[in-house]
Chain A
């Protein structure tokens, strides 16, 4: 049995394979984890020859699918990823790897992951998580909280939101080391009785779920205030909120850059506000956290943002190794086995 995690990495990101290969080479010379790069093997070989790497921690797996000729060609990129991802899922499914990292488009990963890996339990929905920065939280030192689900798909019922809460809490417990993660539901109002029907029903289910520290509903405006470690949302609402958070962060950073460039006096003022600007910088860097998990699949899959730089991808691989080392798969299975709150109601 090996102590070092084995991570399979898909190299068919929309931004091309180069940042992924750089990240893998960089991690290999730092001594792990073991990385299996799935891609067009001859192209990967040529690219790696130009980089420093350590073969003790890096191996190449042929997907049999050529990279698109132009990196910007999204249709060809999607087609290549659709044909190549099964090879990566196969390695993960047959136990040759402990976790997987991909920067391919989320809908592809969710669909192909469900098809080739399967879900932890029959009928369990699959969710895409994302991290977002918050004010300091009482429950954790981690500056980032988890938002589940951001896939853009309708959850399909209150039971799905309950499942997302269980999965998100298990992930936060294992990866962030929070013993009792505070879980909240994203709604329009704080009251348990208000909001969409799906949220009202999920609220009732989560209140009685065993081992769950449910703090109630929160509104979108409360997200950055650090009221919860895990915020559960319907996929469509989560996607919209997460997109808005991303855009706002970019806008804030752009405004700071504009101020820096425009006037010397503003630049002096920003120097005086060094600490505050540092916080802003930290907020803007949350995208380099690396990635977030796809929750509900039989094995750990970390999804990095398409077009991520090599630093973020290296962090995603480290995150996958951490999940594997700390036994995320086992914890998720344990939690799902404890309750049936996530199971859809039987039809009359």
Chain B
């Protein structure tokens, strides 16, 4: 067993999750989705391990987004991360500092994996995260929680694939035989596969996933997620997530406005940055033209974005541009995904990115391109 079970995890969580039935469940990854982490270099890993809770920096706007989402609706927050179990105390302290309640925090048991010589468990994410998602779903089930789940991940690993597989496994769109095969292909051990299938059998047939957001932390090309047939919303920043949730009716205007305030005040984003994010969201089908026009006319000019130039006149100009944008319409029906091919493609993408990083270390200028924030650190 590589992960601390959610039941065990609950012992370290102070929240009582069964008092009020929630409307929604937010399922988050930590590294590169909620906090800025660099685990592609030894220096980055060392820093992630040593920095205190106060030193951990959230991805711009994400703290405000999660605070606002959990404040405006009765929500359960589940965090599943590949970070080691020994950092639990620091993460819990960080959530307290960020004024966030985390109902379940699942971390990876690195020590157990190392002591058993299970090296594939250190790097592999699919079996570990899928099992953690199913276990936490069972925990929700035990509390009679049927609320839809909104899943948040990033492009550093294979979060999109794992969330989709979780949805398809729960809904039995992927049957046990195929799931077993997919888990072996992604490097799972025999007993892990057996345990996942056993846990899955306890869940009723139901697709719990409402929406999947992938934060393009490493600026992956959006086309990488075309293979997920519209089931994954690839976003470049927290503001685009807020806009997309508002469009789907899962967030209020105030959520968009509060996240815009945070982007402007804490991260010095200007009116053009906000406008660019909205235009991009519209043209990639994250948000409808009508919602975008409403935000530009009625919401953003009254937020702090107004103080950095997003006034009504500017909003009017953005509004006119939005009406001329070609819009990609994502498929609305849930289609089965070619997971066998996706596993191969994601592995190839990761290998190419690793090779590019190694090359970048040798060629001046490319490192800054691949890791732009290197310039700003």
Binding site for B on A (CB under 8 A): 1-4, 6, 26, 29-31, 34, 41-42, 45, 49-62, 96
Alpha-carbon distance A55/B243, docked complex (angstroms): 14
- Judge whether A29 and B279 touch: CB under 8 Å: no
A3: B residues at CB distance < 8 A: 270
B218: A residues at CB distance < 8 A: 52
Q: A3-B270, A41-B325, A56-B237 are known contacts. Are A31 and B223 too (CB-CB below 8 A)? A: no
Binding stretch for chain A, among B140-148, B334-342, B368-376: B368-376
- Judge whether A55 and B279 touch: CB under 8 Å: yes
Q: Given contacts A45-B283, A55-B237, A56-B236, could you give 13 more A-B pairs where the C-beta distance is less than 8 Å?
A: A1-B309, A2-B270, A3-B270, A29-B219, A31-B375, A41-B324, A49-B226, A54-B219, A56-B269, A56-B277, A57-B272, A58-B280, A62-B325
In the complex, B187 has a CB within 8 A of chain A: no
Alpha-carbon distance A4/B222, docked complex (angstroms): 25
- Judge whether A55 and B326 touch: CB under 8 Å: no
B277: A residues at CB distance < 8 A: 55-56
B221: A residues at CB distance < 8 A: 49-52
- Judge whether B372 and A55 touch: CB under 8 Å: no
* Cβ contacts B192-212/A at 8 Å (1 or 0 each): 000000000000000000000
- Judge whether A2 and B271 touch: CB under 8 Å: yes
Alpha-carbon distance A55/B286, docked complex (angstroms): 13
Report 19 cross-chain contacts, Cβ distance below 8 Å, ordered by A residue: A2-B308, A2-B309, A4-B270, A29-B219, A29-B369, A34-B272, A45-B326, A50-B221, A51-B221, A52-B216, A54-B236, A55-B281, A56-B236, A56-B277, A58-B276, A59-B272, A60-B283, A62-B324, A62-B325
Binding site for A on B (CB under 8 A): 216, 218-223, 226, 236-237, 240, 269-273, 275-277, 279-281, 283-284, 308-309, 317, 321, 324-326, 328, 368-369, 372, 375-376
> What is the CB-to-nearest-CB distance from A348 to chain B, in angstroms, rounded to a whole number?
51
B375: A residues at CB distance < 8 A: 30-31
A59: B residues at CB distance < 8 A: 272, 275-276, 279-280, 321
> What is the CB-to-nearest-CB distance from B365 to chain A, in angstroms, rounded to a whole number?
9
> What is the CB-to-nearest-CB distance from A22 to chain B, in angstroms, rounded to a whole number?
10
A2: B residues at CB distance < 8 A: 270-272, 308-309
Q: A30-B368, A30-B372, A31-B372 are known contacts. Are A49 and B279 too (CB-CB below 8 A)? A: no
- Judge whether A60 and B219 touch: CB under 8 Å: no
B226: A residues at CB distance < 8 A: 49
Alpha-carbon distance A6/B271, docked complex (angstroms): 11
> What is the CB-to-nearest-CB distance from B33 to chain A, in angstroms, rounded to a whole number?
17
- Judge whether B236 and A55 touch: CB under 8 Å: yes
A51: B residues at CB distance < 8 A: 221
> What is the CB-to-nearest-CB distance from B295 to chain A, in angstroms, rounded to a whole number?
15
> What is the CB-to-nearest-CB distance from B101 to chain A, in angstroms, rounded to a whole number?
30
- Judge whether A61 and B369 touch: CB under 8 Å: no
> What is the CB-to-nearest-CB distance from B215 to chain A, in angstroms, rounded to a whole number?
12
**Nearest B-chain residue to A43, judged by Cβ:** B326
- Judge whether B321 and A6 touch: CB under 8 Å: no
**Nearest A-chain residue to B308, judged by Cβ:** A2
Q: A2-B308, A51-B221, A62-B324 are known contacts. Are A26 and B369 too (CB-CB below 8 A)? A: yes
Alpha-carbon distance A4/B270, docked complex (angstroms): 9
**Nearest A-chain residue to B263, judged by Cβ:** A56
**Nearest B-chain residue to A42, judged by Cβ:** B326
> What is the CB-to-nearest-CB distance from B180 to chain A, in angstroms, rounded to a whole number?
34
> What is the CB-to-nearest-CB distance from A43 to chain B, in angstroms, rounded to a whole number?
10
**3 smallest beta-carbon distances between A and B, as pairs:** A52-B219, A55-B280, A56-B273
Q: A31-B376, A45-B326 are known contacts. Are A52 and B273 too (CB-CB below 8 A)? A: no
Alpha-carbon distance A50/B224, docked complex (angstroms): 8
A52: B residues at CB distance < 8 A: 216, 218-221
- Judge whether A61 and B309 touch: CB under 8 Å: no
**Nearest B-chain residue to A96, judged by Cβ:** B317
